[in-house]
Amino acid sequence: MDRLDNTIRPYAWGSTTAIPHLLGVEPTGEPQAEMWMGAHPGAPSRTGRGTLVEVVDADPEKELGPAAVAKFGPRLPFLLKILAAGAPLSLQVHPNLAQAKEGYEDEERRHIPVDAPHRNYKDANHKPELICALTEFDGLCGFRDPLQAAGLLDGLGVDSLKPYVDLLHAHPEDAALREVLTAILTADPEEMHRTVAEAAAACTRLGGDYAPYADIAHHYPGDPGVIAAMLLNYVRLQPGEALFLGAGIPHAYLNGLGVEIMANSDNVLRCGLTPKHVDVPELLRIVRFEASDPGVLRPEASPDGEEVYETPIDEFRLSRHVLPEGGSAHDLTRATPQILLCTAGLVQAGDHELRPGQSVFVPAGEKAEVSGAGTVFRATVIV
């Protein structure tokens, strides 16, 4: 197996302390948002044999296994991250596979450069993702019941929000949610800026259930995404709990440290809380306008001690092993590629000693045994 040297991305919303604290190093004072583990061309992990992209490209069947190559092609299908949010991320959705292929082909036909700021589809893949909390982790996930959203907005006492409150009482539910989100994102910018300022002041004054939105407005003053965020379920994950974000589900991460895994894609449609491009017509084509429970996931334990986060897709499978002091070794050998990530304690993975934040790549079929006292997350695929 290969020890991984991973890139830390300094996005502005990143925490200045969470990743350094995990790694046991001094903060630099700069935001450290994500540490990428995998073979994404934007920031591939490095090994003693070259980047993980180069390692896989040199012999896909040996590194990934014949079954994974047959199902997903000659590339690692997932990207594993440590994510540290010190401020809210953009409100966003991801396309399903058919939408991604269609959108990518359309933008290619129109010769829109892949790095153009108004480009929506960087590739032809979908981007389901799972976030598992390492600390308390706050986020927004899926639409609230429209009547609950109406009550939340109405409670602010802001006159310019009354039309949205009235729309949310309309039927059917999907049409009400679509009309309100459309109205928010297409409102006159100056009028919306005033509405958000009034709503933010009310959120600060009222506190309680409104406190998260006061914080969002502090980071994104005047942004229509502040009002759009109030249409969504607010969730606070405890360590070990997770959220699965499927296609079309609007979501945003607000604060906390977690392990994130996703299909190897960069396709994001933004709804707000960002200075970046918001393509309202394309967004409305992708969003699933239905109220839903956020569906907090807790791992399901198997007899061998593996705790699995069950999801409905095959590009990734995330699980963890909590290794007690003096416990027996766990054999994790598998006929598919794996990344093993230590998040607590001291873990021995083959010949590699892993401390928190350290990881290894295990080629398909290679012996993988872990021992020690700590927590190790295991990322692989289902074939």
pLDDT band of residue 241 (cuts 50, 70, 90) is very high
For 72-104, the pLDDT digits (tens) are 999 999 999 999 999 999 999 999 999 999 999
Residue 5 identity: D
pLDDT tens readout for residues 242-255:
999 999 999 999 99
Please report which confidence band the pLDDT of residue 265 belongs to, taking 50, 70 and 90 as the band edges.
Answer: confident
The CA-based angle 226-252-108, given to 5 degrees, is: 105
Q: pTM here? A: 0.94
Q: How far is residue 254's CA from residue 169's CA, in Å, rounded to a whole number?
A: 28
Residue 327: partners with Cβ closer than 8 Å, 6 or more residues away: 371, 373
pLDDT in tens, 28-40: 999 999 999 999 9
Residues 6+ apart with CB under 8 A from 83: 33, 34, 131, 253, 257, 258, 259, 260
* Residue 52 near residue 42 (C-beta atoms within 8 A): no
Active-site residues, by number, are 270
CA torsion through residues 67, 73, 76, 77, sign: negative
Across-strand partners of 130? 244, 261
How many residues appear in the chain? Answer: 383
With a cut of 90, say whether residue 302 has pLDDT above it: no
Report percent pLDDT > 90 for the chain. 92
Q: What does DSSP say about strands 369-380 and 359-362: parallel, antiparallel, or unpaired? A: unpaired
